[in-house]
Amino acid sequence: MNIEEFIVDYLQREYTIPQDVDIYNLNFVDEAYIDSLGMINFIVELEDNFDITFTDEEIASDEFKVVGTLTELIEKKLENK
């Protein structure tokens, strides 16, 4: 499973994302696919699954809330390991 698939799979545990949604540009926080408690669990899952750690600044950034840019952030972290 690639990074984007992992993210979408996690988000769809609670909600079904419609087929016509542009997944890459989906802001899953603004669109209410995840709440604050869900976000904590999501961060832990990402860190555990990909063996990475996010900074507070990364988590607070707008890029963290969009599937495509979050995918890119994780890819960069994996490249820099």
Determine the Cα–Cα distance for residues 51 and 62; give it in Å rounded to an integer: 22
Q: How wide is the angle at C-alpha 72 spanned by C-alphas 71 and 75, nearest 5°? A: 90
Confidence at residue 14, expressed as pLDDT on a 0 to 100 scale: 79
Domain count within the chain: 1
Confirm if 32 and 43 have CB atoms less than 8 A apart.
Answer: no
Confidence at residue 81, expressed as pLDDT on a 0 to 100 scale: 83
Determine the Cα–Cα distance for residues 78 and 61; give it in Å rounded to an integer: 19
pTM of the predicted model over 0.75: yes
Phi and psi torsions of 16, nearest 5°: -100, 125
What's the domain range around 52?
A: 3-79
Confidence at residue 9, expressed as pLDDT on a 0 to 100 scale: 94
> Residue 71: which CATH number?
1.10.1200.10
Question: pLDDT below 50 — which residues of the chain?
Answer: none
Confidence at residue 52, expressed as pLDDT on a 0 to 100 scale: 97
Confidence at residue 15, expressed as pLDDT on a 0 to 100 scale: 83
